[in-house]
Structures are given as C-alpha cells and as structure tokens.
Structure 1
Amino acid sequence: MIEIVGHRQLTLFTVSRTAPTGLAYGEADPELVAAVMAAAELHADKHGWKRTQLVNARRVLRILLGRQDTPGAPISASDVLELNRTDKLAAQPALDVLDAIGMLEDDREPSVTAWFDAKLAEAYLPEPMVTELRAWFTVMKDGTTRPPRRRPRSHITIRVHAMWALPVLKAWAAAGTNSLREISSADVRAALPKSGSPRSTTGQGLRSIFKVLKGQKIIFTDPTARIRTGSHETRDPLPLTNLEELSNALNSTDPARAALTALVAFHGLRNHQLRDLLLTDKDGPRLRVGDRTILLAAPVRERLTSWLDHRTAGWPNSSNPYVFINAYTANRSRPVSGAYVSAVIRINTQAIREDRILHEAIATEGDIRRLCDLFGLSVAGAERYATVVGGELASADDDR
C-alpha cells in the first residue's frame, strides 16, 4: 500500500537536476521505493509489458523518487517528461505506473492552449484585444463558478469558434480597433457575410466571444444580441462513388481494416463508436453500441472474429479492454485514436456510413422509425435521408 502524502516540503531555491543517463539514483525512502517498484511489476504483468518496458519504467521511477523534496508526494508529469527530454529516458511507462497508483500530478498543458497561443501570435492583434480573447479562452476551457456559471466546453468547440471569429477580429484590428469594447452592433452587421453557412458560422463564433465577455463584465454590452445569423446549411447525404475501394477494404488481408470497414458498411457505426467498442460489448452474434444492441451480419461476424483472433495472437498478454488496439495502446488501457481508425480504413468513415443509411432509406422508402432504430439517428437526422429518398421516388414516378 502506497501512502500519498498531502503536504509539500517548501524549497529555498531551485537547483537544476539534469544529469547524464548514468546518474546515481539519489536518496529515497527505501520502503516507498520498494512499494513503487512492486506496483510497477504488477502494472507490467497486468498490461503485458515486455521486460525492457518494465526495466525502463523502474529506472525512471527510481530517479524521480530520489529527486523528491517531499517523499511520497505526487510527481508532476513535467518532471517525468524532463527526463525524456534531457536524459533520453522513456517517459510513458513511468507515467502509466504513477497514474495507476495515484502519484501522478498531471500538469501537462493541453494542446489547445498551445494552438490558441499560436493563432493569437499569427493574428497580430492589439494587446487589449488579446487580453480579452485570453479571458474568453480561459472561461471556455475551464468554465467558471461565478455567475453566470458556465461549464467547460470541448477543445474542438473552442477551436471551431475561434477559427470562425478570427478573420473578422483581424479585419477589425487592421481597421484600427484596439479593444472589443469598441465594437457596436453596426460593426457586427457590417462584418457578417450576407447569407448561408458563412454568415451562420461567423455569427456563432462572434456571439460565443461577446457573450462570455459580457458575462464576465469585461465588455459593457453584447453587440451580437438580437442579430439574426441563421442556421448552418446542411448538405444532402450522398452515395459512395468509389465502390471498388470499399470492396478492397472489406476484403483486405489486414484484419483490422476489414473488421472496421465491415462495421461501418453494414451497421453504420461512427468513428468514435468504433474506438469505444469494448470486448464485453460483444455477446455472440450481438454487439452493444451505446444503448442499442445490434445483431451482426454474417460477413461482419466473420471479419470481427478474424480480427479478435489476430489481436489475441499479436498481443496475448494485453489487458486493454477495447476491441481495437494497436502497438501503442496494447500495453495501456486507452482506446485507439480517431486518426488511427481513419488511417486503417483509408476511406472517409462518414461517407461509408451515409452510403449505408441512404441505401436503407431507399429500401424502406424513407421509413424514419426504422432508420432511427437501426442507426441510432435522431428524428431530424433520419429526415435528411428520408427527404432525399422522397425526392428520388417522386422523380421516378414522374418519369413513369
């Protein structure tokens, strides 16, 4: 049992602790070292680590424990990564062990912060406007408990809203605007595109910024209030054109590609649903996807079984609970990334899904209830497909 202390030993001054790879481990509590080493051994056994991974993790952990000012206190992720940067020691195995035993203080900066800083630097905005945008970013990223309360937004939402608003903000700055407090409703109306999705997206990005700043009392009025910007335009779902490539993916010798493609082509699973599938979700010929249970088609069962056989042969000791794993996640407990799924299938996942749903809509003459049940669509989502099918059926009747 490892006891994590709740206090910190204050330091008089900071000393650089970088050293050659062959450095001594330093003084550390022998009982704490023994407990952490035992935890690392258990973690390695549970996740099917190779011996070299365990040896590297133990070495990094010994160095970190020997450098602690407060024995038993959580170790910051930045200290672990510093060993990787300066001494070329593998950081990830040590991070995994520290996280598993509750000794990791994750002080890593989220990627969205570096992205936002880079965008502000590229925009060459005046300092008051930069300060206001940083205030918006902080509230969006961390939320606020001060009225009006706001929960943190996803990093994707932050990126999208910033990208939609930045062109207008740069134009205002170029025209001499120093602060967003100077912007009026007339300025917003003049900056908005006339119609369509450009007007909607630009308006949503600006409204996000001004609404937050008004709530935080950084600006006095919200110039986007009572300005209609419309809604985003939606495109009609289209059938897949490259059927030969789809056939190649379904019959690929790569079991991961064949299984992933089959789940999308037959059952219309989304990218995130593929990543989040757990081994316990498969129950014979059935597969649980969220709150739905899918009866797998025979070709899908065949390909999924082939993948699971390949998974067992390739990573026999892996305890990763997800159906789809790769060399990076096999010894961890996290799902594969969305980029991995796209790279393996090599066809746009959404395009395959839309093609499948469109074919079902045609076969059922736009039965909305059936589309909702089969693919987990909302009524509004199913209506997109039913509308397309209704138009095609009407055209066919006219031709007759």
Structure 2
Amino acid sequence: MPGQTQRKTATGMPTVSGEVMTPWLQAVRHHQLFFVGLHYRRGSALTALHHVKAREASRRPPPVSRSRPRTGWRQLPLFEQVPRDYGRLDPAAANLASPWLAWGKHLAHQLAEARGWGRNIRFAVNRGLAVVLTGYVEGDVIRHSEIFTPLRALDLRVGHIITVLEEVGIFLDDSEPSFERWLAERLEGLAPGIAAEAERWTRVLRDGGPRSLPRQQETVWLYLNRVRPALLTWSNRYDHLREVTRQDVLTHLKTLHGHHRQDQLVALRSLFTWAKRSGLVFRNPASRIKVGQNECSVLQPLASAQIDRSVAAANTPAARLVLALAAVHAARVAQIGTLMLDDADVGNRRLTIAGRVRPLDDLTLKLLLEWLEHRRKRWPNTANLHLLVNNQTATGTGHVSNHWISAPLRGQEATLERLRVDRQLEEAMVQGPDPLHLAEVFGLHEKTAMRYADSARALLEQAAEADGRVPPGGV
C-alpha cells in the first residue's frame, strides 16, 4: 500500500505491519489532508502506534556489545560554521548500518539499565539517536542549538538524548546560560557606563577575582537585585559610578526602612568597594555609613488552625513526609531535597539531616514507610539514590527542586519555612530558652539560637504575666 507507506513516513512513525494498521484503517470514516513532512501530534491515533512499537522494542534483546567506531581516515569538513539541518531527517529512514548509531544505542541501553529508564523513554531515545547520528562522521560535533528544536518538534526526550551524546563524547553545549539571560534583563534600563560597571562587578561576584572568592549564585542574584533600584535612579542623571556622591547614597537610603535599608546598603558597599579597588571611583561614597542593627521582632508560634490547613493540603505521600520533616525535625527545604536513601536508617530508627543524626519518631517513621512503598511501586527501576524523587528525577541521579518540595504548601500560612521556625520555637519554650540546647539539637548558629531563646523568653514572660506564674527557666 504505497499511500499507507507515505502516510507513515510523513508522520515520522516507524514502519508497521499490515496487521497493526488494518483494524485502525477499517475504523476510519473520514480522511484528513496534510502536508508531507509534518510530524505527528500528541494524542493522535498514530501516536498510539508509537506506544505499540515502544512495547515491542522493550521485549527485544539488548544490543550487541560494541566498541567505539574506529576509522583509518576521515574527510575534514570544508566549512566549520555551517549548521546542520536535522529537521529534514526522518527517524523511519535512519541508516541502521551506521556504526555510530549502533554505538549510541549500545550506550543508551547501558544508561537505561543503570538509571531505570522505562520502555517509552528508551524508544524515544533510540528514535532521537536515529535522527542525530544518521550521516554522522568522526570528527563532527553535535551542538545543542542544532538539535534542540528538531527533537522537540518530534516530541522526543531531549535531555536523555543529550546524556547519551555526552557519553559518546560528541556533544557541545552551546546554549545560552540562564545567568546570561538574567543578567541582560537586570541591566536593562541602566545608563551604558553604569551597566558596564555593574556587569563587571556582578561577574567578579560570581567568578571571583585576584583578591575575592566567588560567591554563590543566589548571593549574586540578591546583590544585583538590591542595588538595581538605586542604579536605575542614578542612571537618570549620571553616566558612570564615579559621578555618584555620598549625598546621593544617603538620599536613596532615606527612602528605605528596616531590613530593606540594611540589605541595600550592604550591597551598595560591596559595589563601591569593588569600584574603588578597581580604580573606577576616586572615593567610596558608601563608606562610613553605618548599617545599624536590625531590630528583630519576637517570633510568634503558629495557630492550630493554620497547621491543620497545611496538614490537609499535604495530600500525597511525598508532601506528608516533607511536612513531617519540616514540622517535627525542623529541616530546611534544601536539606530535605538532598536527603539520600542511606540517611534514613529505618531499622535503627535514625534519620541523618545535614550530618546530624536524629531519632525517628512514630509519625515520621510511618510517613517514611508510606513514601518508600509508594516510591517502590511508582518507580521500581529508578537508580536515583535520593530519598525524594519525581517523574523528572526518577530517570536520572539529581535531586528534586526546592520549588517542587514547597509547591503543596504554597499559599498556606503555615509554609514549610514557618513550620520549621515554629518547631524550633516550640523546643525553646518547652525545654527552656537555652541557646546552647537549641544550637546542639538543631545545629543553629549562635546568633540564631539566641534569637529563638529571646523570643521564647518573651513569650513565656507574657504567658506568666497573664497566668500569674513564673515561666520555665526563670526571668
């Protein structure tokens, strides 16, 4: 059936037998015209054939073990910068005799076995390798910018295919880093001279310099975001940082209060200290301006109704375990995400969080076992050793994102962070406002432990005054 073959080839689907196509064709009562070369759409009838072939491929024996292809000679490329057009290639028309495709499929099979890829992922990866490795010759480099759009158009797993190509050693990641896009957005609207100087300072913060260590990327984001309002104001009058005076800094700080003033002043002092050291300004206009001590308010405990609403919102095994880790063990979101399976010692009822061993209470143990059973049924073949996994991380080795961990309680008054704070405040009120005890139990910094102790002492004094009794720990 030539028409049938053309339809299969145009949609990018692999060749299937007449027994598979005949029942589907007999049920067709109308025909949709289409242009040759259009790819199949998700959810169409032909997509079902994709899953049929995926199941058939999963039953096939693993590819024969092969070695990296070796060629005695190769043709050097005439033009290095000419991009390849992978969009015109059809997975069904792949060159199955290509040694590079055979080697790529062999490595893909090894990765699938090691990381627990399902049959759909394996089939999609093999189709993607058929697209990018057909016609490949030794010495070529496959670039991210060339394959991303064609593979996404075929609805294939770009990340998994890139993992295989990196294993082969022929992939070049030329995609624009997210930091560069963010930096360009943050510098937009500044005067050209101020923008260039702020960009140099930001890159020194991230990469370090001759006399400075690199900062974490989150710190770099915070510092540039904090100085940006002042730089936007000064860009209306000045072209360079050397034109900014001490009075300009004081005028800007008068519009701020509390921790906003403190945070922006710290960032401005960092900017102008670097500018003075680099010879961009003659005097540091932010020097000798006191940051001041930020008065910390008394931490308040959560109400029972707020906690109950968060408990009701945690309606999955993972969300319930995360809530217990924050509310019972005062674990931070980042610490929860990096927990490994070895950190949960169920037999000895111990849990290791950020290097500190904690006993497993009955509630946390129950929720932990519930999650482990769900994890085993949902992702039985995953090779990820992190305690928490999801659909994205189960096929790899990385940890889940902080956004995914916090999502179930987002919008609630009792968020994971507030539950963590409430747990530490409860410990200080029950055991007495002893900062040494808090630092030992939760691994807090001495200043943080003192703040919890002060808040607990103030709350206990208020309760004692209301009840006419002496609070624990004395006053």
Amino acid at match of 1:268: A
Gaps in structure 2 of 5+ consecutive residues? 1-66, 71-75, 469-475
Counterpart-to-counterpart distance in 2, 1:181 and 1:208: 15
User: 1:65 — aligned with what?
Assistant: 133
User: 1:294 — aligned with what?
Assistant: 358
Counterpart-to-counterpart distance in 2, 1:215 and 1:161: 18
User: 2:116 — aligned with what?
Assistant: 48
Offset at 1:68? 5.4
Counterpart-to-counterpart distance in 2, 1:215 and 1:61: 52
Give SS of 2:302's match.
coil
Q: Deviations over 1:24-63 (max 9, x none)?
A: 8888994443332211111112222122211222232343
Counterpart-to-counterpart distance in 2, 1:183 and 1:16: 50
State which of 119, 141, 145 in structure 1 corresponds to 2:186. Answer: 119
State which of 203, 225, 232 in structure 2 corresponds to 1:138. Answer: 203
Summarize the alignment of residues 240-389 of structure 1 with structure 2, pairs less than 5 Å apart.
240-241=302-303, 242-248=306-312, 253-284=315-346, 285-346=349-410, 347=412, 348-389=415-456
Offset at 1:305? 0.4
Tell me, yes or no, if the aligned pair for 2:208 and 2:215 is still in contact at 8 Å: yes
Offset at 1:373? 2.3
TM normalised by structure 1 equals 0.87
Tell me, yes or no, if the aligned pair for 2:385 and 2:397 is still in contact at 8 Å: yes
State which of 230, 248, 251 in structure 2 corresponds to 1:190. Answer: 251
Give SS of 1:267's match.
coil
Q: Deviations over 1:40-90 (max 9, x none)?
A: 1111122221222112222323433346575375x4433442433555543
Q: Deviations over 1:214-266 (max 9, x none)?
A: 344444443223322235554432211303214435xx552112111111111
TM normalised by structure 2 equals 0.74
Seen in structure 2, the aligned counterparts of structure 1 residues 388 and 96 have a Cα distance that, compared at 3 Å, is same
Tell me, yes or no, if the aligned pair for 2:128 and 2:156 is still in contact at 8 Å: yes
Counterpart-to-counterpart distance in 2, 1:12 and 1:95: 21
Q: Deviations over 1:94-138 (max 9, x none)?
A: 1233345555444433323212212322xx222112221222222
Counterpart-to-counterpart distance in 2, 1:206 and 1:39: 51
Offset at 1:325? 0.8
Task: Provide the aligned C-alpha RMSD in A.
Answer: 2.9
Seen in structure 2, the aligned counterparts of structure 1 residues 356 and 179 have a Cα distance that, compared at 3 Å, is same
Counterpart-to-counterpart distance in 2, 1:209 and 1:25: 58
Offset at 1:326? 1.0
Gaps in structure 1 of 5+ consecutive residues? none
Give SS of 1:42's match.
helix
Deviates more, 1:184-193 or 1:288-297: 184-193
Counterpart-to-counterpart distance in 2, 1:79 and 1:140: 32
Pair 1:92-2:159 in alignment: yes
Seen in structure 2, the aligned counterparts of structure 1 residues 231 and 80 have a Cα distance that, compared at 3 Å, is farther
Seen in structure 2, the aligned counterparts of structure 1 residues 14 and 104 have a Cα distance that, compared at 3 Å, is closer
Counterpart-to-counterpart distance in 2, 1:352 and 1:51: 40
Counterpart-to-counterpart distance in 1, 2:234 and 2:249: 10
